[in-house]
Structure 1
Amino acid sequence: MTPPLALPRPVTVGAALSSAALIAGVAAFPSAALAQEEWDLYAENAWAIDQVNAEDVWATTKGEGMTVAVVDTGIAEEHPFLEDKNILDGESFVLSEEDSARFDTDGHGTGVSAAVLYAAPEATVLPVRVYPTTADIGFSTGAGQNRFDGIRWAADNGANVMVIPWIEVMAGEDREPAPEFLEAVQYAIDKDIVVIAGGGNDPELDQVPNPASFPGVIAVSGTDKDGNAWSMNTTGPEIVLAGPADTMIFPIPQIVSFGEEDLYFQAAGTSAASGIVGGAAALVRAAHPDLDASNVIQRLITTADDGGQGRTEELGFGLVDAAAAVTATDVETVAENPLGYPMGEAGASGASPDEEPGSEASEEVVSTSDAAADNAADSGSGLTPIMAVAVALLLVAAAVVVWLVLRSRSRSKARVQPWQ
């Protein structure tokens, strides 16, 4: 089984991974197989695109004009797959590294953004960087202020759809999420944004984690290549929709090139599923610009393919069907979010769709090749292999120290799990 979408460092099949204690599962495959040859990721991931019937509506819309915020580890500034895509500058809330959302040393945010574009190739991606690396997420003791600020910033800067592909797992007797977390997500919903979250990759969890568990959020579980429930799903009554979660191929950020960097990695998980559902939501909003977020959600849930089972804890209302959601003519309209609200009622955050945003996202679409050249000049990316190895060793050593320190805090009531 392919490990959940995680740190994209290709290794030879069967090789031992010394950093396994620090990160989530790493996809294993022969690195030479996915190295320098450029692949058509739409062809490579055709099973997932076909499963949600996305291509069936591309003659009508490919998501143009819709902005999908991906609140995660940023998105690569340079990769062949991204060269002709609509990517905004976004915003970084990670102050410990390069202060840019177009900087992803991990690959998770890049992978989720790619999943959005697999379903909606002409949607605009708004990267909001709230995590630097897999290890940092794994060491977190709960969703913090930078995550909340990132969600709010995306809501104020043009997002029509928001994908939150990470989870907070509550433990202990007090399982209530931070009020600030609820309020940030409510704020986005009150700003007329379709909010989507991965449901988790751990079938042993006894509840769907945050923010997928919040009312009003589309909690996404996964399907395998046959359209059945993915074996690693976290399940529960909060699951709303399902999307493809089985093995797909994603772009690896090109950070420092020595001429042998791999271009792709393969992984699985509900992070990818949430990205594809986010793309489907963008298709619906692009095809029906008069609809508010509540009625976009209504279309997605009422047209999902439930296989005749009705709503279940494994797949929610069913597998998202982009074509049906776009073309259905008999969907009943709603006055409020059919999934409810994190804080109990519409407008509880004090925000409204009619408010003037606090700031505007850059409307300039980044040319990946030009941005890469600028980034190389700014960051001094002409590192020698020796320097790069030294930096990597220092980062691993630091991560080990932090892990040893934080392991003693294992009684913390909440933790953020990195990849779903």
Structure 2
Amino acid sequence: MSDNGWVPELVQAPAAWDTTKGEGITVAVMDTGIGDHPYFDDKDILPGYTVFPDEEDGRGDTDGHGSAIAAGVLLVAPEATIMPIRMDTGATDFGSSGDSDDEAFRWAVDNGADVLVVPWVINGTGFSGEEIEVLQYVIDKGAIIVASAGNDPAGEVGYPGLVPGLVTVTGTNRNGDIWFDNTTTGPEVVVAAPADEMTAPVPQDPTLGNTELYANVVGGTSMGSGIVGGVAALTWAAHPDLDASNVIQRVIQTAGDGGGNRNEDFGYGLVNADQAVHAEDIEEVTENPLGYPMGEAGASGATPDDAASEDPAETEAGVETGGPAAGGAEANKESNLSTIIVVAAAVVLIAAAIAVWLVLRGRSRKNAVAAEGGPFGPNDGQPQGAYQQQPAMQQQYGSPPMGGQGYGGPPPGPQGYSSPPRGQQGFNPPPGGGDQGAPWRPSDPNRQ
């Protein structure tokens, strides 16, 4: 895998690693599963899911495609969690499993996937109904879908990459220029990522008779989609307070020259992990900047607040997962907000308790003085001719007006746990000027 060093360098991932390597973000690889290999031994790989009823989970790969894509994700985000979703064996086209393919998408997001990488395309037209609704469901649940555009220079972007709301990836060569000879372009392309020849791990399944640990793969937009999945993981890990829409916003607004311009060849441009993680003043969005499969947010009826499957073991493939709670980073965001609310409530209660203690203490001292015949005589009677003491100002223990500090709502101004303020993004062009070569594309249907 050392031969792939040009890939993280091209997308400027090493500069992002100073801040994060993707820990805490779960990336589902919707492919042929992930096989055993020494490369994965020290990585966080979940059991995952399979659409095939005679298999236990997604930890099997008789083709090698899924293993290659997972390695691509980890090449950029080495500490991300990988969830293998086995939807194909490599011997047949994707989509042959029918309803079980749709169930795989739902299972992934219901069981903690933050980012779903879809490194394949189905060519043709007329995708509607459940095929579109399941993508909407994933987005409504608060996750990001990264899809490859295809590897046919003369063709059109296929499903699911042609659907609005997805981060559709085309491919570049080692120079960062669009690899027009082996990738698909079109108006649906969102970003570009490395897709040139790479080294990939070969699954070490004894039944396959593999003798080599690694092999060179042609590349393609499949590998590019894995790279973008890794960039999304880095971005979300660095900004866990963001929702999926604003993670996408950071990825697309910092791609290419950072100008936020899009064209049919490379979308917004080559992804830039450094800027996606570190850029300031990225304009906040309230909805997915790429749109929605069914036209509007929430059209599937799902929300990020939906509970996970009650018992993952009872799903169609009968698999359990060690993944995070459903809702992914959105759930983590809500958990952080709940913590803030609890701490604030505790502060208010402590302040109230101190106030009550001060009142009771004052009364106790007053009663003691009266019982002992204090300076004003028994029963607090004041002797004639004595100085008339002015009554003390009554202490305020309630919330001051306008939610003053320490009592009510947070002080005005940014709090550091919401999206950055609107304004110009702080993108710095790479050395040598801001000209950005055209990006690249995904793999051909079902292959790197």
Q: Does 1:333 align with 2:284?
A: yes
Q: Does 1:73 align with 2:32?
A: yes
1:314 to 255, 265, 278: 265
Equivalent residues in 2 for 1:339-418, closer than 5 Å: 339-358=290-309, 359=311, 362-363=321-322, 417-418=445-446
For residues 338-360 of structure 1, give each alpha carbon's deviation from its aligned partner in whole angstroms, at most 9, with x where no partner exists: 00000010001111001111156
Give the AA of the match of 2:204: Q
Matched residues, number: 319
Equivalent residues in 2 for 1:2-401, closer than 5 Å: 41=1, 43-76=2-35, 78-95=36-53, 98-133=55-90, 135-137=91-93, 144-170=98-124, 175-205=125-155, 207-230=156-179, 231-256=181-206, 261-267=211-217, 268-306=219-257, 310-358=261-309, 359=311, 362-363=321-322
Rate the CA distance shift 1:66–1:364 in 2: closer, same or farther, 3 A: closer
- Sequence identity (%): 50
Give the AA of the match of 2:243: D
Q: Is the 8 A contact 2:121 2:445 kept in 1?
A: yes
CA distance in 2: counterparts of 1:200 and 1:149, whole angstroms: 23
Give the AA of the match of 2:253: T
CA distance in 2: counterparts of 1:49 and 1:233, whole angstroms: 20
CA distance in 2: counterparts of 1:339 and 1:192, whole angstroms: 14
SS of equivalent to 1:220: strand
CA distance in 2: counterparts of 1:155 and 1:141, whole angstroms: 19
Q: Is the 8 A contact 2:26 2:323 kept in 1?
A: no
Give the AA of the match of 1:362: T
SS of equivalent to 1:208: coil
Q: Is the 8 A contact 1:241 1:304 kept in 2?
A: yes
CA distance in 2: counterparts of 1:226 and 1:249, whole angstroms: 17
SS of equivalent to 1:109: helix
Deviation of the 1:59 alpha carbon: 1.9
- Using the size of structure 1 for normalisation, the TM-score is 0.73
Rate the CA distance shift 1:299–1:114 in 2: closer, same or farther, 3 A: same
Bigger Cα Rg: 2
Q: Is the 8 A contact 2:254 2:279 kept in 1?
A: yes
Deviation of the 1:306 alpha carbon: 4.2
CA distance in 2: counterparts of 1:328 and 1:260, whole angstroms: 44
Deviation of the 1:94 alpha carbon: 2.0
CA distance in 2: counterparts of 1:186 and 1:266, whole angstroms: 36
CA distance in 2: counterparts of 1:229 and 1:198, whole angstroms: 14
Deviation of the 1:417 alpha carbon: 2.7
Give the AA of the match of 1:301: I
CA distance in 2: counterparts of 1:144 and 1:165, whole angstroms: 17
- Using the size of structure 2 for normalisation, the TM-score is 0.68
Runs of 4 or more, structure 1, over 3 Å off, are 140-143, 257-260, 306-310
Gaps in structure 1 of 5+ consecutive residues: 1-40, 366-415
Q: Is the 8 A contact 2:169 2:190 kept in 1?
A: yes
CA distance in 2: counterparts of 1:322 and 1:417, whole angstroms: 27
